[in-house]
Amino acid sequence: MPNLMRTVQLALKSLMLHKLRSGLTMLGIVFGVFSVIAMLAIGEGASQQAQQQVLQLGATNIIVRSVKPPRETASQQTANSFVLRYGLKRADFDLLSKTIPTVMQAVPIRELVKACRFLHREMNCRIVGCSPEYTDMNHLELAQGRFISDKDRREKTNVCVLASGTADELFQYEDPLGQSVKVADRRYKVVGVTRAREASAAIGGSLSGQDYNQDIYIPLETMRVRMGDLDIDRRQGSFSAEEVQLNQITLRISDIGQVMSTADVIRETLERTHRNGKDYSVVVPQELLKQAEQIRTIFNVVLGSIAAISLVVGGIGIMNIMLATVTERTREIGIRRALGAKQQDITMQFLTETIVLAGSGGVIGVVLGLATPLVFQLLKVLAERFFFDSGGASEFSEMFANLSPQVVPSSLPLAFGISVGIGVMFGLYPARSAARLDPIEALRHE
């Protein structure tokens, strides 16, 4: 083999002869490599986002929620009653928390949306009846005061904890601690305020997103006593009533390996007690994690393939240019052959040229690829300014805004390797055809 350094120098020299042409040819590979890295980075970002959401729900948790049944079954069930009864019962909670040995902790929740007021300021809040464990399960932190205690539950005291958004809205100038908020004609003393928390995004239809910042937390027992299970909604010309005992039961499982089997047990148990239709749903974050992994794999394969196509297109561009170069430099090939170059020397010369071209394109592509998060950030700013500023945040723009690409380290050598591979693949034919030229013909070439 000829001296490698020298061959590379020679290749660089020939490429520098046509800077624009080489640059443009390289561009195909640059964008190919960049898009491979960028696509994988976006895929990784999306998957990490999903993982984070799932982890926020807790990998050892199982969430059982009440679901309003579809209209037809609902009308049969309540043919002679205005009140729609559905969802989880307190009996379910007892059953689940006491009969399944792998359940370590169970937290029941009741939710209602009601108007709350302080002085003249009023807003609609989600009233959450919960227990002290609620903060723990939802990663809530307190900014001021304390959370609801077991004592509050036992004594059914009229106390509440405000979420940060609620506190800001109702208490614009006052310190909320010690004040009272009026909900449904009753006053609740504010004992604490939570710190602001990012809203959890909806996950694939099985769990809707939750904004924790517009909540008021009160003890579950207080809620039952003061508000009851019946929620009556009166509007102009219509009237509806729902009776729900519990909206959600969050179960913490003792061992992460037991989560899936416990979920099956829970499903079977609830199936037996809810024979009149499915008015609940069981969400297992771990299942979601698995689904997210699967989606991520598909996502990566699809995106990667699209990017790979652009690399192949770049490779075809290189091959095209190299074929033209070989024709253009036929005479040079003839001269070299006359001076003693073997076929293999000519092959190496042109192959090296292609590889150097593709390789430098690969390096530039990798550098650009490393800048993917920056480029994406820039795109985000531009997109927000020019496309999404009117009409509020659509679902797409929200997803877009939350997405932050993560460059996968292994994609860098991978993409670079592919670019060099493309160089070899698409360089071999032009190089071979250069080497096979008849030296006499080549020398005569004008």
Binding residues for other proteins, rule: CB under 8 A, are: 1-3, 6, 13-14, 17, 331-332, 334-345, 439-440, 443
In the bound state with other proteins, the residue whose beta carbon lies nearer, of 6 and 278, is: 6
β pairing state of 215-219 and 103-118? unpaired
CA 362 to chain centre: 28
In the bound state with other proteins, the residue whose beta carbon lies nearer, of 16 and 79, is: 16
Q: How far is the CB of 360 from other proteins (least distance, A)?
A: 18
Answer whether 123's CB lies under 8 Å from 169's CB.
yes
In the bound state with other proteins, the residue whose beta carbon lies nearer, of 164 and 325, is: 325
Q: How far is the CB of 29 from other proteins (least distance, A)?
A: 23
Answer whether 79's CB lies under 8 Å from 97's CB.
no
In the bound state with other proteins, the residue whose beta carbon lies nearer, of 1 and 79, is: 1
Q: How far is the CB of 400 from other proteins (least distance, A)?
A: 49
Could you write out the three-class secondary structure of 247-282?
Answer: CEEEEEECCHHHHHHHHHHHHHHHHHHCCCCCCEEE
Q: How far is the CB of 17 from other proteins (least distance, A)?
A: 5
Q: How far is the CB of 364 from other proteins (least distance, A)?
A: 24
Give 232-244 as a DSSP string. Answer: EEEETTEEEEEE-
In the bound state with other proteins, the residue whose beta carbon lies nearer, of 9 and 377, is: 9
* The Cα angle at residue 97 between residues 95 and 98, in degrees rounded to 5: 65
Show Cβ contacts of residue 69 under 8 Å, excluding neighbours closer than 6 positions: 77, 86, 277, 278, 279
In the bound state with other proteins, the residue whose beta carbon lies nearer, of 117 and 342, is: 342
Q: Would you say how long the chain is, in residues?
A: 446
In the bound state with other proteins, the residue whose beta carbon lies nearer, of 115 and 338, is: 338
Answer whether 161's CB lies under 8 Å from 193's CB.
yes
Query: Cα(124)–Cα(270) distance, rounded to whole angstroms?
Result: 32
Q: How far is the CB of 9 from other proteins (least distance, A)?
A: 10
Give the containing element (helix H, strand E) for 130. Answer: strand 121-130
* Helix (H/G/I), strand (E/B), else coil: 18: coil
159, 241, 203, 254: which is closest to 65 by C-alpha?
203
Q: How far is the CB of 30 from other proteins (least distance, A)?
A: 25
